[in-house]
Amino acid sequence: MDEANDSGLASYVAGQIDRTLSWKDVKWLQTITSMLILVKGVITAEDTRLAIQAGAAG
């Protein structure tokens, strides 16, 4: 990407993502919503187990 011609949107969006999220955040989210929680980007079987233990529906 040519940053000189970039509108800054990509940089702004990247700056809004909290890279410190953990499975505790999924547990917290489960306490404040009745919606199903789906976790995207799970690659390993262990992470799948952790996601489900934390309250994710899939």
Quote the pLDDT of residue 44. 96
> Could you tell me if residue 5 is inside a domain?
no
H or E element, residue 45: helix 45-53
Domain range enclosing 26: 20-58
Is residue 16 over pLDDT 90? no
Helices then strands (H, E): number in the chain? 3, 0
CA distance 51 to 4: 40
**Cα 6 to Cα 1, 10, 48, 51, 54, distances in angstroms:** 8, 8, 36, 36, 38
Contact 58, 38 (CB under 8 A): yes
What's the pLDDT band for 31 if we cut at 50, 70, 90? Answer: very high
> Could you tell me if residue 9 is inside a domain?
no
Task: State how many domains the chain has.
Answer: 1
